[in-house]
A and B are shown apart, each in its own frame.
Chain A
Amino acid sequence: MRTQTMQHAIDAGELVLTLTVGGQPCGVPVLVVRDVLGAQGITRIPLAPPEIEGAMNLRGRIVTAVDLRRRLGLPPRDAETKPMSIVVEQGGELYSMLADAVGEVVPLLASDRQPNPPTLDPAWREVSRGVHRRDGQLLILLDVERLLEIGGGR
């Protein structure tokens, strides 16, 4: 049974998949997400920008994996934490964003969104579309397009 907010959010296309990167709750619009996968075999790509973790095989398609921690200038995750892959499509190519953990799909209304606080780290500000207050924590809504502006494009 859907709550009214949920329905509203679905209508407005404002469902968000929550994820955690370096302890920070984040969200990406659910509509851009193609798949969520557990730890995968990833092939390293030498000479690639450091944010690029490598390439992986998603049912016969090659997906380029971007490590969100490195993308956001955070320390590397410890060896035990296996990253989760959030697969998105951008310009006809598949990319996987590696996060520490993936949460749930929640409705977040654009009307509740706050602009980036001025104290937000520049690395985050660059890719943040705004913040939401949720369960007493701040959730950063990520701009996937900006996140994937890496390497030659930047």
Chain B
Amino acid sequence: MDDLIADFLAETHEGLAALDVALVRLEKAPEDKPTLSEIFRVIHTIKGTCGFLGLPRLEAVAHAAENVLGRYRDGALKVTPDGITLILQALDRIKLIVAGLEEKGAEPAGDDAALIVTLDDAAEGRFAAAPAPAPAPADLAEAPETDPPAPDAPSAEAPQVEANAPDLPAGAAAPPQSIRVSVDVLEDLMMLVSELVLTRNQLLQVARARGDQAFSVPLQRLSHITSDLQDGVMKTRMQPIGNAWSKLPRLVRDLARELGKKIELEMRGADTELDRQVLELIKDPLTHMVRNSADHGLESTADRRAAGKPETGRVMLNAYHEGGHIIIEIADDGKGLNTARIREKALAQGLATEAELAGMAEAEIHRFIFRAGFSTAAAVTAVSGRGVGMDVVKTNVERIGGTIDVASSAGRGTTFIIKIPLTLAIVSALVVEVAGERFAIPQIGVLELVRVGGATGAQVERIKNAPVLRLRDRLLPLVSLARVLGLEEEAPSADIGFVVVTQVGPATFGIIVDRVHDTEEIVVKPVPPILRHIGVFSGNTILGDGSVIMILDPNGIARATGVAAEGANARAAEGVAAGMRSAGRTALLLFRAGDATPKAVPLGLVARLDDLPVDRIEFSGGAAVVQYRGQLMPLIPMGGAGLSPEAEARARQTVLVFSEGERSLGIMVDAILDVVEEQLEIKGGTDRAGFLGSAVIAGKVTDVIDTAWWLRQAGGDWFRPNEPVVAKRLLVVEDSAFFRELVVPSLAAQGYEVVAVSQAAEALALRERGAEFDAIVSDIEMPGMDGFGLARALREGGAWAELPLIALSGRADAPALARARDAGFTDFVPKYDRDALAASLAGCLALPVAAG
């Protein structure tokens, strides 16, 4: 228990010292939110820690002060000098108690009622004219004198001592198997080993360069011994995670009593070891999360009974190794996160708009709990519920290179998953080169390396200016390291190189580098203060060859580029889950035009994306045009009239170009967002001209544009065929209204007369009625009779038995093609490859076919 108090004192002193300064700063700038949050957090931590250390006096004062600060933070009260004075008084009281605690190991006796009443009044907005400075000196006088009450506190600790007792006899009986070593000694050892590792690496490199055989054997031995020594010293720093959990049973027990719940704490993998430095850093977040689970996660006993669950709620801690990481899960079998409340709260706090929320997956909404100041607890209790918490936990976990995630299902519970590196001191890193400079990337975050460019490698594609890589049917966003670091890219076509596929939280992205050198064990050294503001480096180190190298922080890169923003995570994860089920999936180009709602158009329809200099755009008769390949290409604004404000600012206009033979037409949009492959399900057609309706794409509500309508805006001649051809009649069988909308105008534009039906049965009905066509284009996947069925039915006989029959399908592989031919299709075209369809039709119709 003494250790705990000592820890607490050290921490509290630190916090209090910072607070005095912060409070004074706050008084000068009452609107300064970060300062307020900082003060609030310190007080909150003090209060929380006292709660389970059994320091009721301290807790009461801190709680009252926190109440007032909470009101300030929420903006319910204005920060006034009187208020600050009051908080400072509370701080003085806390210091007084802490001083007593330090001296005697127990809280000094004293009465804080007057101060607490004043604080509570202040929290309610009432200011007592005379705050209570009086009791303080009284305490001061009282504390040293009244020794007798002190024994109270130790007696409360007595059971704790007993609880530890079973360990003692064992330790006493046998000769001591362990000795106490000061942490400083271990730290020094670790540092020396780090240096040794570096020197060893240097030697190895020299030996390799010289090719000197004489040294190689002893060097090998030195190398092995160094590695073993490193392991050994690392082991001395390893501690079972159970050490960080030792306070939790008591905490949970006290909580259970306080909250009137029955709670069972289950701890698995308590002997899982991790570096003490890491352990220190996750101790507090863990405590906080267990407290949260017990307080918010678990329902009251009555609610549990009503829900048909066992009365005793369970909080489960589980730790295990996975790769170079340790995974800690904190799970409860409570009610799960309240998605509706989180959504409301996110809306109320302006973290997202209603439209954005509507498009978000549940898991994505749950992640709002990691935002600063976010708490959904309806009641503020002494335990938790003020919105200090998960954001702090997340910050702490990320600081040590870890990630945190949450999985929750309503009525069944919530699980937090923390993934952290085993050690921070020596890490394996990948040395990469970009623009002639070398950098180290910790292996922890690296999933794989992909060679790109050249003749054999995968190709980096560009969506507007954003590079992406198609990796096993997923679009991986890429970040150019040279660009992030503001270095010159080696060549404009620097798409030859490597992509380091990196994971940050649940998001995956690629970092483009020119070259990959080697992996090396590196000792992470912090960067000097004058470089700390650069977020993309987590430290620096000295390589085997003696040169200094900067260590990149993938978290920082993700933050700097926004490539792994909270919202994008879930989407990436969904992408993985959906995998290869490509049936019915369409590549869609997402863009923004006019309002904030994303818009989508099938990528296959877009001939090209262009980024035109604004000065090349001319206006003729009020309509925008641009000269393109010796022709005038009309430009239609999608977001209101004229150029978009963004284009004006950038002096370049983004244009989607649609081509039809010789003619092209551009639609001016604000920005290209993404290309996704999704199953398109258009919900509720809109009355808005130019839109087919909306669909949920990439987790967001997206307007699907009616391409045909927009093309018509270019003028009547868009659909008039170039050369009058003999109007051939086509029958299109397609169940998706959306695709009918797309394909019919497109075919009509090529000069065909098109009739479209939505089912094979309708097509057969037309045949019975004696309708005449020159060719049939049919979808394969359709409800009821599918395309194969239709083909067989047609080939069996009847008026259309000899007609060219073209299959459209998302799947264009060899077996599908063979099957289509078997069924009787003349040709097979990938779904909405317009040029292929046009070519196929032209080909089929040129064949001497006996028109029925």
* A-chain residues with CB within 8 Å of residue B531 when the two chains form the complex: 45, 48, 52, 64, 151-152
A151 touching B533 by the CB < 8 A rule?
Answer: yes
- B832-845 CB mask vs A (1 if < 8 Å, else 0) is 00000000000000
Tell me how far the C-beta of A57 lies from the nearest C-beta in chain B, rounded to whole angstroms: 5
B532 touching A152 by the CB < 8 A rule?
Answer: yes
- B466-490 CB mask vs A (1 if < 8 Å, else 0) is 0000000000000000000111000
Cβ-neighbour of B550 out of A41, A42, A45, A56 (below 8 A): A45
The majority secondary structure among interface residues of chain B is mixed
A93 touching B550 by the CB < 8 A rule?
Answer: no
A43 touching B549 by the CB < 8 A rule?
Answer: yes
* B-chain residues with CB within 8 Å of residue A45 when the two chains form the complex: 531, 534, 537, 550
A30 close to B (CB within 8 Å): no
B269 close to A (CB within 8 Å): no
Query: Can you name 6 extra interface pairs (CB under 8 A) apart from A43-B438, A46-B437, A152-B529?
Result: A41-B547, A43-B550, A46-B550, A54-B548, A62-B540, A150-B530
B46 close to A (CB within 8 Å): no
Tell me how far the C-beta of B594 lies from the nearest C-beta in chain A, rounded to whole angstroms: 36
Which 3 residue pairs across A and B have the least CB separation, nearest first? Answer: A46-B485, A152-B533, A151-B530
A62 touching B525 by the CB < 8 A rule?
Answer: yes
* A-chain residues with CB within 8 Å of residue B486 when the two chains form the complex: 46-47
- A30-59 CB mask vs B (1 if < 8 Å, else 0) is 000000000001111111110010111100
A43 touching B547 by the CB < 8 A rule?
Answer: yes
CA A153 to CA B529, docked complex, whole Å: 8
- B516-546 CB mask vs A (1 if < 8 Å, else 0) is 0000000001001111111011001110001
CA A148 to CA B438, docked complex, whole Å: 26
Q: Which of A42, A43, A93, A95: most chain B Cβ within 10 A?
A: A43
Tell me how far the C-beta of B1 lies from the nearest C-beta in chain A, rounded to whole angstroms: 35
* B-chain residues with CB within 8 Å of residue A118 when the two chains form the complex: none
A47 touching B548 by the CB < 8 A rule?
Answer: no
* B-chain residues with CB within 8 Å of residue A75 when the two chains form the complex: none
- B444-458 CB mask vs A (1 if < 8 Å, else 0) is 000000000000000
B529 touching A47 by the CB < 8 A rule?
Answer: no
B195 close to A (CB within 8 Å): yes
CA A29 to CA B487, docked complex, whole Å: 37
CA A45 to CA B437, docked complex, whole Å: 9
A93 touching B528 by the CB < 8 A rule?
Answer: yes
B43 close to A (CB within 8 Å): no
B546 touching A153 by the CB < 8 A rule?
Answer: no
Q: Given that A46-B437, A93-B528, A93-B529 are contacting pairs, would A57 and B534 also be in contact in the complex, using a CB cutoff of 8 Å? A: no
* Contacts from B to A (Cβ < 8 Å): 195, 198-199, 437-438, 485-487, 525, 528-534, 536-537, 540-542, 546-550
A52 touching B530 by the CB < 8 A rule?
Answer: yes
CA A47 to CA B486, docked complex, whole Å: 7
* B-chain residues with CB within 8 Å of residue A93 when the two chains form the complex: 528-529
Q: Which of B437, B525, B531, B532: most chain A Cβ within 10 A?
A: B531
A117 close to B (CB within 8 Å): no
Q: Given that A43-B549, A44-B437, A46-B485 are contacting pairs, would A64 and B528 also be in contact in the complex, using a CB cutoff of 8 Å? A: yes
A47 touching B549 by the CB < 8 A rule?
Answer: no
A60 close to B (CB within 8 Å): yes
CA A41 to CA B542, docked complex, whole Å: 12
Tell me how far the C-beta of A153 lies from the nearest C-beta in chain B, rounded to whole angstroms: 6
Q: Given that A46-B485, A46-B486, A56-B548 are contacting pairs, would A152 and B542 also be in contact in the complex, using a CB cutoff of 8 Å? A: no
Cβ-neighbour of A49 out of B529, B530, B542, B550 (below 8 A): B530
Cβ-neighbour of B536 out of A47, A64, A152 (below 8 A): A47
A91 close to B (CB within 8 Å): yes
CA A45 to CA B195, docked complex, whole Å: 22
* A-chain residues with CB within 8 Å of residue B529 when the two chains form the complex: 91, 93, 152-153
Q: Given that A55-B548, A57-B548 are contacting pairs, would A48 and B542 also be in contact in the complex, using a CB cutoff of 8 Å? A: no
CA A49 to CA B528, docked complex, whole Å: 13
* B-chain residues with CB within 8 Å of residue A95 when the two chains form the complex: 528
Q: Which of B438, B528, B531, B534: most chain A Cβ within 10 A?
A: B528
**For residue A65, which residue of chain B has the nearest CB?**
B548
A48 touching B534 by the CB < 8 A rule?
Answer: yes
CA A150 to CA B195, docked complex, whole Å: 29
Cβ-neighbour of A46 out of B487, B525, B547 (below 8 A): B487
List residues 50-107 of chain A with CB under 8 A from any CB of chain B: 52, 54-57, 60, 62, 64, 91, 93, 95
**For residue A153, which residue of chain B has the nearest CB?**
B530
**For residue B535, which residue of chain A has the nearest CB?**
A47
* B-chain residues with CB within 8 Å of residue A48 when the two chains form the complex: 531, 534
Tell me how far the C-beta of B135 lies from the nearest C-beta in chain A, rounded to whole angstroms: 42
Cβ-neighbour of B530 out of A44, A47, A60, A64 (below 8 A): A64
* A-chain residues with CB within 8 Å of residue B549 when the two chains form the complex: 43
CA A45 to CA B525, docked complex, whole Å: 15
* A-chain residues with CB within 8 Å of residue B198 when the two chains form the complex: 60
Tell me how far the C-beta of A150 lies from the nearest C-beta in chain B, rounded to whole angstroms: 5
In the assembled complex, 6 residue pairs joining A and B whose CB atoms fall closer than 8 Å, in A order, are A43-B550, A45-B550, A46-B550, A47-B486, A49-B530, A55-B540
* A-chain residues with CB within 8 Å of residue B199 when the two chains form the complex: 60
* B-chain residues with CB within 8 Å of residue A151 when the two chains form the complex: 530-531, 533
* A-chain residues with CB within 8 Å of residue B195 when the two chains form the complex: 60
* B-chain residues with CB within 8 Å of residue A47 when the two chains form the complex: 485-486, 534, 536
**For residue B438, which residue of chain A has the nearest CB?**
A43
Q: Given that A46-B487, A47-B486 are contacting pairs, would A57 and B530 also be in contact in the complex, using a CB cutoff of 8 Å? A: no
A60 touching B533 by the CB < 8 A rule?
Answer: no
CA A31 to CA B536, docked complex, whole Å: 35
Tell me how far the C-beta of A140 lies from the nearest C-beta in chain B, rounded to whole angstroms: 22
Tell me how far the C-beta of B550 lies from the nearest C-beta in chain A, rounded to whole angstroms: 6
* A-chain residues with CB within 8 Å of residue B528 when the two chains form the complex: 64, 93, 95
**For residue B543, which residue of chain A has the nearest CB?**
A57
Q: Given that A46-B486, A46-B487, A47-B486 are contacting pairs, would A55 and B550 also be in contact in the complex, using a CB cutoff of 8 Å? A: yes
B530 touching A43 by the CB < 8 A rule?
Answer: no
Tell me how far the C-beta of B834 lies from the nearest C-beta in chain A, rounded to whole angstroms: 45
B542 touching A57 by the CB < 8 A rule?
Answer: yes
CA A60 to CA B195, docked complex, whole Å: 7
CA A62 to CA B525, docked complex, whole Å: 9
Tell me how far the C-beta of B561 lies from the nearest C-beta in chain A, rounded to whole angstroms: 13
Tell me how far the C-beta of A35 lies from the nearest C-beta in chain B, rounded to whole angstroms: 16
CA A5 to CA B334, docked complex, whole Å: 81
Q: Which of B198, B529, B530, B540: most chain A Cβ within 10 A?
A: B530
**For residue B549, which residue of chain A has the nearest CB?**
A43
CA A153 to CA B537, docked complex, whole Å: 18
A57 touching B485 by the CB < 8 A rule?
Answer: no
List residues 121-142 of chain A with CB under 8 A from any CB of chain B: none
CA A54 to CA B437, docked complex, whole Å: 12
* B-chain residues with CB within 8 Å of residue A150 when the two chains form the complex: 530
* B-chain residues with CB within 8 Å of residue A57 when the two chains form the complex: 542, 546-548
Tell me how far the C-beta of A37 lies from the nearest C-beta in chain B, rounded to whole angstroms: 14
**For residue A149, which residue of chain B has the nearest CB?**
B530
Tell me how far the C-beta of B265 lies from the nearest C-beta in chain A, rounded to whole angstroms: 42
CA A48 to CA B485, docked complex, whole Å: 10
**For residue A94, which residue of chain B has the nearest CB?**
B528
CA A62 to CA B527, docked complex, whole Å: 9
Tell me how far the C-beta of B628 lies from the nearest C-beta in chain A, rounded to whole angstroms: 39
Q: Given that A46-B437, A55-B540, A57-B542 are contacting pairs, would A148 and B550 also be in contact in the complex, using a CB cutoff of 8 Å? A: no
* A-chain residues with CB within 8 Å of residue B542 when the two chains form the complex: 57, 60, 62
* A-chain residues with CB within 8 Å of residue B540 when the two chains form the complex: 55, 62
Tell me how far the C-beta of B524 lies from the nearest C-beta in chain A, rounded to whole angstroms: 11
